[in-house]
Amino acid sequence: MAKLALKGGNPVRSSPYPAWPYWDDKELEAVRGVIESGRWGMAQGDRVKELEKRFAAYQDASFGIAVSSGTNALRAALLAAEIQTGAEVIMPAYTFVATATAVLESNAVPVFADIDPETYNISPESVEQVITDKTWGIMPVHLAGLPADMDRLNSLAARHGLVVIEDACQAWGSQYKGREVGALGKAGAFSFQSSKHLTAGEGGMVVTNDPDFSERCHSFVNCGRRTGGAWHEHVRLGGNYRLTELQAAVVLVQLERYPEMIARRQAGAKFLRERLALIDGIKPIALPDYVTSTSCHLFMLRYESGAFGGLPKAIFIKALNAEGIRPAHGGYYIPLFKQPLLLEKNLGPYDLITRHEFRGQVIDYSDFDCPVTERACESEAVWLLQNLLLADREGLEDIVRAFEKLRENYHELLE
């Protein structure tokens, strides 16, 4: 008689984990308030402005610029930082596609660095290896909410005259050495998309301490207008990347609730980190000393198949899901530079990388070599999604029990 649920045994857990998004009457009241006011757009209302102020303050930044998505926040940040055609921007190969598309849509060139095997964040050593005389900037990603090694990245940037733009799209409330992320370099981008911890379905925010950057960024997301200018005066190329008052009202409610939510996720993550680390072959992602707070957007761990008789990651995850541990999956499944977008250079009019020379020849993304990213994608990384961390003690114990059960019975899956 098999024990594992994937083989017909009883699952560890049959009830679902907390759903996401979480909401209550406060969101309903906030939306109703905006609807009834008749002020639905930011040109009429004050919710977007209020959110810009409050969110920037929460992230220890002087200015916030609300944007329609995290993707557009990255794009707005690059343009407000005055990126130029042909600029090379170094980013981790282990990230969401938007980090790269924001650069491509600036007529600039994504260049990939590998990740650190302990933290899965961009490796400063690897960044150093891909700096050329065309390098313009570095885009660290605070993956899963774990801050990247900012002191080392900022000092590399200072040494080479580079701009640092943080992809903080998973890092609301994450701190590096006691300071909130986002404005640790020139600027940072956040997302309020539906899977994120602060959400209005879609939305985003740029934060910065630089007043001129802030002015350019506001202008870019608002059709190239200028502060104090006429409605039909356009001083630069921009677009309509505005957030609505309805979205801002919802995110404001969630920001108020956020300290309590982040504390719950952190407590859940601490429990899992301690307990899962005791299981042979399961290595929760490291928490370096410079991390003083993490959003815990994902609970990432390294699965070492050697301790499970070589069982492939995909089957391990299927078995974990069958035990009732959902949502959990294998995360990004190929390094970003291996996406067809980059290998085949499917770029529409943003086709600069079909001509751009990187180290003496036209850039070819199949030449990039990032073994740690490769390993994380293929065989190692397991992501437990953030709503699992909101579970009660029993829900958390069930996660540990499921991992222990798999460790004890993996041979059932090896036939």
Ligand X SMILES: *Cc1c(COP(=O)(O)O)cnc(C)c1O
Contact assessment for residue 64 and residue 213, using Cβ atoms and an 8 Å cutoff: no
| Cβ nearer to ligand X, comparing 70 with 284 | 70
Catalytic residue among 196, 283, 313, 405: 196
Nearest approach, Cβ of 76 to ligand X (angstroms)?
Answer: 12
- What does the alpha-carbon distance between residue 77 and residue 138 come to, in Å, rounded to a whole number? 12
| Cβ nearer to ligand X, comparing 249 with 413 | 249
Residue with tokens 């040109």: 43
Residue with tokens 């990432």: 300
C-alpha dist (Å) from residue 13 to 230, 267, 314, 324, 402:
60, 21, 20, 5, 8
Nearest approach, Cβ of 143 to ligand X (angstroms)?
Answer: 7
Nearest approach, Cβ of 149 to ligand X (angstroms)?
Answer: 17
Q: Is 26 a catalytic residue?
A: no
- What does the alpha-carbon distance between residue 225 and residue 216 come to, in Å, rounded to a whole number? 9
Nearest approach, Cβ of 23 to ligand X (angstroms)?
Answer: 18
Nearest approach, Cβ of 241 to ligand X (angstroms)?
Answer: 11
| Cβ nearer to ligand X, comparing 135 with 191 | 191
Nearest approach, Cβ of 69 to ligand X (angstroms)?
Answer: 4
Nearest approach, Cβ of 165 to ligand X (angstroms)?
Answer: 12
Q: Which residue is nearest to ligand X (CB)?
A: 70
Contact assessment for residue 99 and residue 141, using Cβ atoms and an 8 Å cutoff: yes
Residue with tokens 């594992």: 4
Fill in the DSSP letter of residue 240.
B
Cβ-based burial of 228 (10 A; exposed 0-12, middle 13-18, buried ≥19): exposed
134: CB partners within 8 A, 6+ apart: 86, 87, 88, 109, 358
| Cβ nearer to ligand X, comparing 183 with 198 | 198
| Cβ nearer to ligand X, comparing 198 with 319 | 198
Q: Considering only CA atoms, which of 113, 142, 116, 146 is closest in space to residue 368?
A: 113
CA quadruple 183, 258, 331, 118: dihedral positive or negative? positive
| Cβ nearer to ligand X, comparing 220 with 410 | 220
Site of interaction with ligand X (CB under 6 A): 69-71, 95-96, 98-99, 141, 167, 169-170, 191, 193, 204
Contact assessment for residue 193 and residue 202, using Cβ atoms and an 8 Å cutoff: yes
Give the up-direction half-sphere exposure of residue 311: CA atoms within 13 A in the CB hemisphere: 23
| Cβ nearer to ligand X, comparing 69 with 121 | 69
Residue with tokens 């944007």: 67
Catalytic residues: 196
